[in-house]
Amino acid sequence: MAVRPAGSADQEGSLTQRAAYGAGHIQIHNGIAYFSALHAPDLASADAHTVGGQTRQVVRLLEAKLQQHGCSKEQLLTVTVTLKDMPGAEQAFGESWGSWTDMPATHILVGACGKDVLVAISGAFCLPPAK
């Protein structure tokens, strides 16, 4: 499998968009945008030391990604969440996520997220039809 430069398309119309650390990676193929590794972009902020605070940052980032592609949270197809293994993480995530959408996370994994990262989100959303 050949590695394509960021922002390049292959013969099937797949498009890779790489972003800064924490801002996620988006792969577009056949009208579906797959995103990975979204986490709080500002780990030094006051709210970055809690699962709820990082979830709110990730939700704002995800919402911006959706808007960049002409979408809203209603186009989310699947979401996988990785939470740091710590007491109360699932409840804190659920409260912050639930205040943004009533869509349940498809999968919640508990494990290592990386240094200072308490929440990481990956998933997919449907792109609007081409005009």
- The helices-and-strands tally (H runs, E runs) of the chain is 2, 6
The closest alpha carbon to 47, from 57, 38, 39, belongs to 57
To the nearest 10 degrees (0 to 180), the angle between helices 89-100 and 51-68 is: 40
Residues sharing a CB contact under 8 Å with residue 60, sequence separation 6 or more, in sequence order: none
Identity at 87, one-letter amino acid code = P
Domains of the chain: 47-126 (3.30.1330.40)
Cα dihedral angle (54, 55, 57, 59), rounded to 10 degrees?
170
What pLDDT does 8 receive?
A: 44
* Phi, psi dihedral angles at 109 (to 5 degrees): -110, 140
Instruction: Give the model's confidence band at 130: pLDDT under 50 very low, under 70 low, under 90 confident, else very high.
Output: confident
Residues sharing a CB contact under 8 Å with residue 47, sequence separation 6 or more, in sequence order: 53, 54, 56, 57
pLDDT at 11 exceeding the cut of 60: no
Place of tokens 């995530």: 93
Identity at 107, one-letter amino acid code = H
What pLDDT does 58 receive?
A: 95
pLDDT of 64-121, one tens digit each?
999 999 999 999 999 999 999 999 999 999 999 999 998 877 788 898 788 899 999 9
